[in-house]
Chains A and B, each alone.
Chain A
Amino acid sequence: MNNWIVNNFWIKVVSLILAIITWFYVNEELIKERRMAKQLYKSSAISQVQNPSHGKKPVK
């Protein structure tokens, strides 16, 4: 067990730091994306309310 921890100790530490940084970075990007998607959804819903014919084909 002790050997398992000591073996390649610094590579394990560096890879753990990299993993944590990557996780936080990706997490932040995902939050941003979701926020942006929500905003887009909201703005499209508002434009639908203000202009109900928006995006629909004109009826002949």
Chain B
Amino acid sequence: MHNHISLVKILIEICILWFVCYGILLFARGTRGVYVLRGIILITLIFIITKQLGFDRINWIFTKIFALSILAFLIIFQQEIRRGLASIGQRRWSRFFLKETEIISEITTACFLLSKKKTGALIAIERETRLENYIESGIEIDAKVNSELLITIFTPNTPLHDGGIVISGERVAASGCLFPLTQNPKVSTTLGTRHRAALGLSEETDAIVVIVSEETGGVSVAIGGRLTHDLDRESLERVLGNLYRPDSKNRK
């Protein structure tokens, strides 16, 4: 009986550690912190292995490096850590009350109103891969998604209209964000920078990128490096409805 209780305790402890490790890895994914994290994990593993093998001098060196790297990590990524801790309190619990269809409807409405006026737009919707790098390249907004806001952002000759916006969960995280241009040589040369940026981002991440063409007013979607042109309202809603799940995305 005592053995059974001990075994359950061990399993619970490992599960808690698993959850913490998974949370940290998931949070770091898509941010510049992932490389530092990889380094720290590598140093930690070498530290443990050398300790087990009894290589005292090597172990001493790695102990010092490990202590320094933790300190460096805290200093370099203090902003990310602060944001991560803040998000624990802000995001998770509100996610139970998300209105996914409302957000999709707001995005679709904005896209087709912009399309009517032939105003260009570039909207990246974050899924599993975090888009922190791209959010940091723009201007932080952190506002509730609504069509009026999206239309205002993309209004020509306003300070925020250049670049793309990133929607993270139920919030417009940032605008004026810079996305990487696709390097795919097979991409048609007739495509403009906006479409190329959408393709580039969808190649590097799992984000859904919605594009409104300034020339034709056509609405396209880029997912996984593939572009679907000239969607109508129903098709766009269907695509977003199938792929966009703000309540099941990365902050588990």
Residues of A within 8 A of B (CB): 7-8, 11-12, 14-16, 18-23, 25
CA distance A22 to B45 in the complex (A): 10
C-alpha spacing A22/B40, complex, angstroms:
14
Chain A residues, Cβ within 8 Å of B14 = 19-20, 23
With A19-B14, A23-B10, A23-B14 in contact, is A14–B25 under 8 Å at CB? yes
Interface size on B, residues (CB 8 A): 17
* CB-defined contacts of A7 to chain B, threshold 8 Å: 128
Identify which of B15, B26, B48 contacts A11 (C-beta below 8 A).
Answer: B26
In the complex, the number of residue pairs spanning A and B with C-beta atoms less than 8 Å apart equals: 38
Contact A8 B128 (CB under 8 A): yes
Q: Which residues of B contact A22 (CB under 8 A)?
A: 17, 21
Within 8 A of A (CB), among B15-33: 15, 17-18, 20-22, 24-26, 29
Report whether A16 and B25 are in contact in the complex, using a CB–CB cutoff of 8 Å: no
Interface of B is mostly: helix
B13 within 8 A of A: yes
The verdict on A19 contacting B21 (CB below 8 Å), with A11-B26, A25-B48 known, is yes
Asked if A18 contacts B21 (CB within 8 A), the reply is yes
User: Across the interface, which residues of A come within 8 angstroms of B187, CB to CB?
Assistant: none
Verify A12–B128 contact, CB threshold 8 A.
no
- A14 cross-chain contacts in B, Cβ below 8 A: 21, 25
Say yes or no: B48 contacts A21, CB within 8 Å. Answer: yes
Known: A11-B25, A11-B29, A25-B48. A19 touches B128 (CB 8 A): no
Asked whether B48 lies within 8 Å of A19 as measured between CB atoms, the reply is no
A14 to B17 alpha-carbon distance, docked (Å): 12
Shortest beta-carbon contacts, A-B, top 8: A19-B17, A15-B21, A19-B18, A15-B22, A18-B21, A11-B25, A19-B21, A23-B14
Report Cα–Cα, A22/B16, bound state, in Å.
11
Q: Does any Cβ of A come within 8 Å of B243's Cβ?
A: no
14 A-B pairs, CB-CB below 8 angstroms? Answer: A8-B26, A14-B25, A18-B17, A18-B21, A18-B41, A19-B14, A19-B20, A19-B21, A20-B17, A21-B45, A21-B48, A23-B10, A23-B14, A23-B17
